[in-house]
Amino acid sequence: MKFVSVRQAKDQFSECLEQSQQSAVVITRHGKPTAVIVGAEGKDLEDVVVINDRAFWKMVRKSRKERTHSLEEVEKQLLSNGKKRQQRIAR
C-alpha cells in the first residue's frame, strides 16, 4: 500500500493509477487518509464496486450474526411445505 499527499497525487496521477493496479494507493490530506485509489484493470467492475460498498459489508456483518440453517433443516422445511401444498390441492 502506497501513501501519497493530495499534491503528489495531483502531480503524479498517472503513476498513482499504475501503482493502484498492484496495491491500493492512499491519498492523504495533512497526513490523514482522505481517499483510496483501487485498481480495476482486468477485474469485473461489479466486483470492484461491491468490494468497496459500505452498505453491502454492513448487510454481510448483520447476516453473519443471524442464525444459520443447515442443509438438512432447509430440505426438511421444503419437503414439509411441498406435502402441505399437495394436501391442499387434493382437497
Query: What tens digit of pLDDT does each residue of 27-49 get?
Result: 999 999 999 999 999 999 899 88
Query: What tens digit of pLDDT does each residue of 73-91 get?
Result: 999 999 988 777 776 677 6
DSSP code for 67: P
**Whole-structure pTM value:** 0.59
pLDDT for position 91:
66
**Domain definitions of the chain by residue range:** 2-90
C-alpha cell at 50: 461491491
2-90, which class in CATH? alpha beta
Provide the terminal-to-terminal Cα distance of the chain, rounded to the nearest Å: 67
